């Protein structure tokens, strides 16, 4: 129970205080890839802590060899016989079952979101294949509007661009394609699906409620950062101006014209040299730092319970 309490408090701390302590990552001086890593790791850590807590509560242990089934039988017999109900076991059973139900709901919604994305990708790719010209890994479709989007799925995904995009010039086209390739390379479609599933399943949890907006914006900024690194901010600004107001991005895709105002503000803001890196080590460090606020209350709760148990 002590370990379960610590894990449960960690999940609650992440879910309740996550948006507050992740807010500083929105600073333009922080690389958006690091901020995105912090958000995704926080979501996964909250879910992982809840899963671990539920497992500790419902699986067999030395005190309850039969696990959840044994706890349920003991509580039922006490109620049937009119004897004192073992409240600690009853609380353990209710909390464990509730956690499992909530986590199952998140898993079902996430799987449904992935299935929708896969279905939309199959439908769109089938229609696009008939008219698209594939060149350098990009599906070029005959369309006068300068639009571009990416479809997630598999290891490579699909980057789609309209032939009308070429009117903006080769430098701008390269920036747009670098942006969309960054989406595919970073598995941003999965990050967005996770955030949306969490919000649909647990809309009253602050972290889950804020996740779709934050993750969606940070995915776009992280892709912009990749394009800026290769082609410069001027090309990305020109691309945003050239694609503004386009609304032909299909469902299940990530379009280049998403969140234009926020992205323009980020491009115009000063960015610190020290925090521009987004390598694997930097992302790992960002994720680890994001877990500190959850570890503190969990460690404190475990220490208090152990102190109470060991006190003479």
DSSP per position, 21-71: HHGGGGSTTS-HHHHHHHHHHHHHHHHHHHHHHHHHHHS--SS-TTHHHHH
Q: Indicate whether 277 pLDDT > 60.
A: no
Give the whole-number percent of the chain exceeding pLDDT 90: 7
The alpha helices in the chain, defined as continuous H runs, are: 2-22, 32-58, 67-81, 87-131, 170-185, 188-201, 206-231, 233-243, 260-268, 280-290, 292-310
Report pLDDT for 6: 74
Verdict on whether the full-model pTM lies above 0.95: no
Q: Indicate whether 60 pLDDT > 70.
A: no
Using pLDDT thresholds of 50, 70 and 90, give the confidence band for residue 51.
Answer: confident
Q: What pLDDT, in 10s, does the model give residues 198-253?
A: 888 888 899 999 999 999 999 999 899 889 888 988 999 998 888 876 555 655 55
Report pLDDT for 257: 65
Cα distance between residue 275 and residue 100, in whole Å: 39
């Amino acid at each position: 129970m002590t370990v379960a309490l610590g894990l449960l408090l960690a999940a609650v701390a992440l879910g309740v205080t996550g948006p507050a302590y992740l807010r500083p990552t929105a600073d333009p001086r922080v690389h958006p890839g690091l901020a995105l890593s912090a958000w995704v790791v926080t979501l996964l850590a909250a879910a992982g802590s809840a899963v671990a807590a539920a497992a500790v509560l419902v699986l067999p242990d030395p005190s309850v060899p039969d696990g959840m089934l044994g706890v349920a039988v003991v509580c039922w017999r006490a109620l049937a016989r009119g004897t004192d109900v073992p409240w600690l076991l009853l609380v353990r059973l209710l909390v464990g079952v509730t956690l499992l139900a909530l986590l199952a709901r998140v898993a079902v919604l996430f799987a449904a979101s992935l299935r929708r994305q896969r279905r939309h990708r199959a439908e769109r790719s089938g229609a696009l294949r008939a008219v698209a010209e594939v060149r350098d890994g990009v599906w070029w479709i005959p369309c006068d509007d300068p639009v571009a989007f990416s479809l997630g799925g598999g290891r490579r995904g699909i980057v789609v661009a309209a032939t009308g995009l070429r009117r903006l010039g080769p430098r701008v086209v390269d920036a747009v394609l670098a942006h969309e390739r960054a989406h595919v390379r970073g598995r941003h479609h999965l990050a967005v699906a996770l955030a949306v599933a969490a919000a649909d399943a647990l809309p009253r949890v602050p972290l889950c409620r804020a996740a779709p907006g934050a993750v969606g914006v940070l995915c776009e900024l992280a892709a912009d950062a990749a394009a800026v690194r290769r082609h410069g901010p001027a090309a990305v600004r020109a691309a945003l101006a050239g694609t503004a107001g386009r609304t032909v991005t299909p469902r299940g895709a990530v379009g280049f014209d998403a969140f234009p105002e926020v992205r323009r503000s980020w491009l115009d803001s000063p960015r610190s040299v020290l925090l521009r890196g987004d390598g694997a080590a930097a992302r790992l460090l960002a994720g680890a730092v994001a877990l500190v606020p959850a570890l503190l209350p969990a460690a404190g709760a475990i220490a208090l319970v152990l102190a109470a148990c060991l006190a003479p």
